């Protein structure tokens, strides 16, 4: 089976940097995704990592270590609109199923 853990809630200040961690356990790893979801809306894709290392995309970066079963999403220069839930998801090679963690609710303070 698969198990994905991420913190339930985090709070950060506008303009600051925040790192959201995700740990996972799966037998057939085939990529890790980060999605952003605003309340009442659909999840939108942020990043995809399948190899170890850091992927940078504007203010958002995502890191993966397959040997440690660990990823993080780094958000820089935080803006109020970044207040949302951030979902970590893992794809299984054997059945292509994408399983989500419970999400981290990020609160941005002015």
Partner 1 sequence: NAGVMQNPRHLVRRRGQEARLRCSPMKGHSHVYWYRQLPEEGLKFMVYLQKENIIDESGMPKERFSAEFPKEGPSILRIQQVVRGDSAAYFCASSPLGQGAMGTEAFFGQGTRLTVV
Q: Which spans of this chain sit near partner 1 (rule: CB under 8 A)?
A: 30-31, 33, 35, 41-45, 48, 50, 85, 87, 89, 91, 93-103, 105
Question: At closest approach, how far in Å is the CB of 91 from partner 1?
Answer: 5
59 or 93: CB nearest partner 1? 93
> Can you give the three-state secondary structure of the chain, one letter per residue?
CCEEECCCEEEEECCCCEEEEEEEECCCEEEEEEEEECCCCCCEEEEEECCCEEEEECCEEEEEECCCCEEEEEECCCCHHHCEEEEEEEEECCCCCEEECCCEEEEEEC
Q: Structure tokens of 79?
A: 């803006």
47 or 72: CB nearest partner 1? 47
31 or 74: CB nearest partner 1? 31
73 or 89: CB nearest partner 1? 89
Question: At closest approach, how far in Å is the CB of 15 from partner 1?
Answer: 27
């Amino acid at each position: 089976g698969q198990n994905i853990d991420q913190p339930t809630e985090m709070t950060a200040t506008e303009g600051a940097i925040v790192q959201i961690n995700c740990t996972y356990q799966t037998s057939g790893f085939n990529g890790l995704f980060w999605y952003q979801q605003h309340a009442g809306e659909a999840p939108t894709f942020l990043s995809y990592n399948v190899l170890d290392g850091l992927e940078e995309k504007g203010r958002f970066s995502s890191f993966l270590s397959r040997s440690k079963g660990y990823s993080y999403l780094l958000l820089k220069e935080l803006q109020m609109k970044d207040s949302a839930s951030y979902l970590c998801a893992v794809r299984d090679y054997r059945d292509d199923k994408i399983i989500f963690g419970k999400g981290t609710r990020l609160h941005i303070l002015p």
